[in-house]
Amino acid sequence: MNSKKFSRRDTLVLGLKSSLALAMGSIGLSAKAEEKKLLIGYWPIAAGLPFYAAVDRGLFKQAGVNVEAVKFASPNQVVEAMIAGRIDGCANGVAITALALADAQSPGSIKFTCMNYANEKYILDQVIVPINSSIKGISELAGKKVACGPGINNVTLAKAVLAGAGAINAQVIELPIAQILPALVAGQIDGAYVLEPTAVIGKQQKISRSIGAGVVSKYVLGDNLPWIGGAAALTSKTLKEKADLINGFIKGYAGGVEYVRKEGMAANQYLKGYTAIDGDLAKEVPISGYIQYNEVKAADVKALQRLFDVFTERKVFEKPISALTLIYKQS
């Protein structure tokens, strides 16, 4: 096996050395009730909003299914836990390329039930610079230091955005998300490719300003295609072994999506407790767009396939991955 390729796959999927402590028990529940529970992992970012709302509004319980939310420090850890069979699936916000790569190791093992997307209307991704920077456009970051969040998914997209915008020879630096704004203040970096709420926090604290929004859609995918960057998903093992819970889960999750669509940013109240977003900050965090499995159109498949092809072109994916085969189909 090519060691370089293995290293990339290991970064996204096979890092099972990390400790994944999951609370499997719950006081007062019988053993039979435990068997009927769905453990759903989430990364604490805004894109998981439909899931948070569905849990807190009791939509899963109304649909007759017991769902437990399990928090992880990174999307890769969520995917690792799914691969290991420690959780049944994930909420929106988990990197769709990480999920796709995991499925490539065992085709048919993961199915997307709801996807989240961003574009110039539904803003998730931005390029920011220090508030007093003289830089006005992304191309001016050529040859400069640009930070992004950790992981090959963020690095790949940051490099693709910068290249697409004409920022030649920009140096991409991985940083923990919490360190990006302090690094801007300290002058250690000249700009950053970030996901919300980092840009909103930077604006509120008068640390940074945006020089481009919806940048993956604009500079990487083109043709006005949305960036479908994350997904809620279930494992094939769960679909088979807990088949009697699936319809209830799908119904409850759909209720969360419809609530977010109807209420818009007012739904951000449910970010509290699941993310670090609260108070005045929650009033400004943009809402992602959502596509449920039964709403997928040809244009959506095209957009997702284009994203996957970018990762193949950049040698992150060992071979082409078909987007259509990963989308859940109700039997």
| Closest listed residue to residue 114, CA positions, set 305, 285, 320, 255 | 255
| pLDDT at residue 325, as a whole number | 95
Sign of CA dihedral 279, 283, 286, 289: positive
| Pairwise CA distance, residues 82 & 73, whole Å | 14
| pLDDT at residue 19, as a whole number | 33
- Has residue 1 got a pLDDT over 60? no
| pLDDT at residue 52, as a whole number | 98
CB-based contact 109:233 (threshold 8 Å): no
Pick the more confident residue, 307 or 74. 307
| pLDDT at residue 15, as a whole number | 44
3-state helix, strand, coil in the chain (%, to 5): 45, 20, 35
Using the CB atoms, write b or e for 194-224: b if 16+ within 10 Å: bbbbbbbbbbeeebbbbbbbbbbbbbbbeee
- Has residue 168 got a pLDDT over 70? yes
- Has residue 26 got a pLDDT over 60? no
CB-based contact 159:165 (threshold 8 Å): no
Tell me whether the omega of the peptide bond preceding residue 197 falls within 30 degrees of 0, making it cis: yes
- Has residue 12 got a pLDDT over 60? no
CB-based contact 92:99 (threshold 8 Å): no
Residue 224 phi, psi (nearest 5): 60, 25
Share of the chain above pLDDT 70, in %: 89
Average pLDDT over residues 102-121: 93
Question: Which pLDDT tens digit goes with each residue over 223-233?
Answer: 889 999 999 99
| Pairwise CA distance, residues 100 & 85, whole Å | 16
- Has residue 209 got a pLDDT over 90? yes
Question: Which pLDDT tens digit goes with each residue over 40-81?
Answer: 999 888 999 999 999 999 999 999 999 999 999 888 899 999
* 215 contact partners, CB below 8 Å, separation of at least 6: 125, 126, 127, 138, 161, 165, 193
CB-based contact 112:328 (threshold 8 Å): yes
265 confidence band (pLDDT: 50, 70, 90) = very high
Please work out, in degrees rounded to the nearest 5, the angle formed at the alpha carbon of residue 91 by the alpha carbons of 325 and 179.
115
283 confidence band (pLDDT: 50, 70, 90) = confident
- Has residue 93 got a pLDDT over 60? yes
- Has residue 148 got a pLDDT over 50? yes
Average pLDDT over residues 17-23: 34
Average pLDDT, the chain: 89
| Parallel/antiparallel/unpaired status of strands 208-213 and 125-130 | antiparallel
| pLDDT at residue 22, as a whole number | 33
- Has residue 14 got a pLDDT over 80? no
* Number of alpha carbons in the 13 Å side-chain half-sphere of residue 135: 26
Q: Where are the alpha helices (DSSP H) in 45-133?
A: 49-56, 59-62, 75-83, 96-105
Pick the more confident residue, 270 or 16. 270
| Closest listed residue to residue 41, CA positions, set 55, 25, 61 | 55
Distances (CA, A) of 114 to 35, 48, 92, 93: 24, 11, 7, 10
pTM for this structure? Answer: 0.84
Decide: helix, strand or coil at residue 122.
coil
Sheet hosting strand 208-213, strand order edge to edge: 171-174, 145-148, 191-195, 125-130, 208-213
| Parallel/antiparallel/unpaired status of strands 171-174 and 37-42 | unpaired
35 confidence band (pLDDT: 50, 70, 90) = low
Q: End-to-end distance of the chain based on CA atoms, in angstroms? A: 37
| pLDDT at residue 8, as a whole number | 46
* 81 contact partners, CB below 8 Å, separation of at least 6: 20, 22, 41, 70, 72, 87
| Parallel/antiparallel/unpaired status of strands 125-130 and 110-118 | unpaired
